[in-house]
Amino acid sequence: MSKIYLVAYDFRGSSDNYSDLFDELQKSPRWWHWIDSVWLLRTKESADEIYERLEPYLDNDISLFITEIGSDHQGWLPDKAWKWIRKHVDREGRSSTQMQPAQ
């Protein structure tokens, strides 16, 4: 079953140093990215598997956090972000069965 994960990072230096990391994040089956240092990924991978996939692109100048998204969430986001979240996470916090391509 697919799950939604939030991937957050903080790095020193130029984002150009992490273009390979961003390319790898975009290889996820479904993804959304509207906050500079935050991505949502819809995948059948576990948090450990996502980390293992991203680890080759990490160095001592970046911090990374991966966590599963559940139904209890709140924030101040654009409507298109909330539509993506509602489309991919049902009320019980599980990933919805209806999937759309990342936009």
Tens of pLDDT, residues 81-93: 889 888 887 644 5
Q: Pairing state of beta strands 38-43 and 30-35?
A: antiparallel
Least confident of 23-27, 50-54, 71-75: 71-75
Give the integer Cα–Cα distance in Å for 90 and 1.
13
What is the arithmetic mean of pLDDT over 27-51?
A: 94
Is residue 41 pLDDT above 60, yes or no?
yes
Mean pLDDT of all residues belonging to the chain: 85
With vertex at residue 39, the alpha carbon angle to CA 33 and CA 42, rounded to the nearest 5 degrees, is 100
pLDDT value at position 58?
A: 94
pLDDT value at position 87?
A: 86
Hey, is 23 helix, strand or coil? helix
Give Cβ neighbours of residue 55 (< 8 Å, ≥ 6 apart).
none
Q: Pairing state of beta strands 62-68 and 38-43?
A: unpaired
Confidence band of 102 (pLDDT split at 50, 70, 90): very low
**pTM higher than 0.85 for the full model?**
no
What residues are paired with 64 via a beta bridge? 9
Give the integer Cα–Cα distance in Å for 71 and 92.
6
pLDDT value at position 30?
A: 93
Domains of the chain in start order, with CATH, are: 3-88 (3.30.70.240)
